[in-house]
Chain A
């Protein structure tokens, strides 16, 4: 290194040594030396990086959920799902302020005639009205509330029931497991929508709550079976054996070592079930087992009412159907990417 040209390359302060070495010195000899200097510098940097990697990083430890969140933030599928879900939740919360008209007001009733039962789209009413002259857009916006309430409450109900049954079966095992699982098997053997109809039809006065109850009950066996299965897998895992070898008591093993490790698939199923609940709730309302009072709009119920006019005015069925599809898709996308992010096998 007799040439003074590449000398500054070796000092760490210069950010781009190869370009400065190559452009400031016109002679080919100097250029070669510059390249050599850059090579030495790169080598030095690499060693520094290696040394840095060897020392303990000073950052705080991250939990399982934190690291899952780091992965999710960069996952486009999750982001699309999350945006859909977020928009849906925001619309549901802000519905009364977002809706341009009162969803119960029969503003367009004057245009409803036997020949034209559905008012056409017009200024102020971009999606037109329904057969009672109510604004379609406002009804769709306000309808998101019912859908959200039913979806979330039904899923939470199913989750709670499934957690109790699954923990009983997977945690205690033996005869408790046998009894719980046979009940669950019987429930699973009945087609779920048929069972939801039957449960909803048991009530004399159908309402939003009978729909929630019916859908929650049909989700219980799925959650219970899933949780029981993953708890069984945990029971034979090495860390449970290690905990037993340390004399840890059974409740602690079940609740600290087995349950938290088994929740991943259940949580994912929860987000997927949200989508199913919304669709099932729509199906029940469509068939008239939902809230009979159509002054509170609900997407499934709107879909059901639309079938009379479907041949001539398909749009009044398409709008609520699209809403249901998009929201269900949002929850499914979110659930799928959540499953991937929480899967310890895809972890680095």
Chain B
């Protein structure tokens, strides 16, 4: 594989062993010529077997496009995907449609944001779960239905045998997301991509779904890529966190390190914008100023510079590279910034465990 050539710039993660998924220089461009827009720009990261990796960022930073590109689900017309995505030694980007289709659902699976619209409204739940089993495991309908009931039971859906005959609109939001998780995990994939799986759910259900995901991932040893804009989700679930901004990774750190010592001003801004129980009531939240529309292109400097509080002159002149941060912070911390934060913006910050709760 070509991973050896390009890994030099990106020291591999702490796990050491052969990564399950290795994304190198993944670039996704929409459109062509002058109107081309680079949604994902040379993104590289590794996922070890059983590891949970978070992709974090605000809307439009390229996190969902990254996941769709890994799954090869982007429409082929008008999009250019380059780089390598090697999964267990195979480059997914070079596979044919049919080969990729065999892997989706069996080796890699994905769960989506909106559990209602992700289920087929006119097909009973049992048929939808059984379909995956029939497709990848060659099971006949009757045993597949039986297995589907077991799967629904495993994800905590009560009375699964009766639920098999029900339609998606008869289930609650949490129930639907559980069903989707059951479908995604039906064939015990080695990698699961969860694209904001809790966004459409209310807070108590969010906690249940996250706990369920954590449990299932730990039980089966499935690696998980968690795509989210919710740092609370990250704190509770992820081993390693990649912060994306404008299509590029701007900071990578372990979960504890990231919350204890955010180095990129954007990460610091995200953390500072979370409401905290310890501060006095009525205080205004501290948002990251500006919006994604204020970005400058990465070729002319740091895309975050116009919104950055610690901007210095060089920020608009030279593009920062993603390089290892100071050695005393650990070898696996990467940072893309000319003027990183020296102190945690949350001086009175609660501990990591509290912010994740």
Interface of A with B (CB < 8 Å)?
56, 60-64, 237-239, 241-249, 252, 256-257, 260-261, 344, 347
Contacts and interface: CB of A to CB of B under 8 A. Distances in A.
A109 to B, nearest CB: 59
A252 B135 contact: yes
Given A56-B159, A252-B135, A61 B165 contact: yes
The 6 A-B pairs at the shortest CB distance, nearest first, are namely: A247-B105, A246-B105, A247-B104, A61-B166, A238-B117, A242-B118
A247 B106 contact: yes
Contacts of B112: 238, 241-242, 245
B24 to A, nearest CB: 22
Contacts of A237: 117
Nearest to B162: A61
A246 B114 CA distance: 16
Max count, chain A CB within 10 A of own CB: residue among B71, B117, B120, B135: B120
A256 B124 CA distance: 11
A247 B117 contact: no
A347 B116 CA distance: 13
Given A61-B165, A241-B112, A242-B112, A247 B135 contact: yes
Interface string B92-123: 00000000011111100110101001111111
B184 interface: yes
B136 interface: yes
Interface in B153-195: 158-159, 162-163, 165-167, 169-170, 180, 183-184
Nearest to A238: B117
Nearest to A244: B73
B46 interface: no
17 contacts: A61-B165, A61-B166, A64-B122, A64-B167, A238-B114, A242-B110, A244-B101, A245-B104, A245-B110, A246-B105, A246-B183, A247-B102, A248-B105, A248-B131, A252-B131, A261-B121, A344-B121
Nearest to A250: B101
Nearest to A262: B122
Given A245-B184, A246-B131, A246-B135, 18 more contacts: A62-B170, A237-B117, A238-B118, A239-B117, A239-B119, A242-B183, A244-B73, A244-B101, A245-B105, A245-B110, A246-B183, A246-B184, A247-B106, A247-B132, A249-B101, A252-B135, A261-B121, A344-B169
B179 to A, nearest CB: 11
A61 B167 contact: yes
A246 B120 contact: no
Interface of B: 71, 73, 101-106, 109-110, 112, 114, 117-124, 131-132, 135-136, 158-159, 162-163, 165-167, 169-170, 180, 183-184
Max count, chain B CB within 10 A of own CB: residue among A237, A241, A252, A260: A241
B138 to A, nearest CB: 13
Given A56-B159, A61-B167, A244 B104 contact: yes
Contact of B132 (A64, A246, A256): A246
A242 B167 CA distance: 16
B105 A256 contact: no
Given A241-B73, A247-B104, A347 B169 contact: yes
A61 B167 CA distance: 7
A249 B117 CA distance: 20
A114 B345 CA distance: 107
A260 B162 contact: no
Max count, chain A CB within 10 A of own CB: residue among B112, B122, B162: B122
A243 B123 CA distance: 12
B165 A256 contact: no
B104 A256 contact: no
A246 B104 contact: yes
A318 to B, nearest CB: 45
Contacts of A344: 121, 169
Nearest to A256: B123
Contacts of A246: 104-105, 109, 131-132, 135, 183-184
Given A238-B112, A238-B114, A247-B104, A260 B158 contact: no
A62 B171 CA distance: 12
B120 A239 contact: yes
Contacts of B118: 238-239, 241-242
B76 to A, nearest CB: 11
B38 to A, nearest CB: 22
Max count, chain B CB within 10 A of own CB: residue among A63, A245, A260: A245
Max count, chain B CB within 10 A of own CB: residue among A61, A64, A257: A61
A256 B158 CA distance: 26
Nearest to B107: A247
Nearest to B104: A247
B254 to A, nearest CB: 29
B170 A61 contact: yes
Nearest to A237: B117
A135 B93 CA distance: 77
Contacts of B124: 61, 63
Contacts of B101: 244, 247, 249
Given A56-B159, A248-B135, A249-B101, A243 B169 contact: no
Nearest to B129: A246
A246 to B, nearest CB: 4
Contacts of A61: 124, 162-163, 165-167, 170
B120 A243 contact: yes
A69 to B, nearest CB: 14
A252 B105 CA distance: 15
Contacts of B162: 60-61
B323 to A, nearest CB: 34
A317 to B, nearest CB: 46
Contact of A239 (B109, B110, B121): B121
Nearest to B163: A61
Given A56-B159, A239-B117, A241-B112, A261 B122 contact: yes
Max count, chain B CB within 10 A of own CB: residue among A60, A244, A246, A344: A246
Nearest to B183: A246
Contacts of B167: 61-64
A28 to B, nearest CB: 48
A248 B122 CA distance: 17
Contacts of B71: 245
Contacts of B166: 61
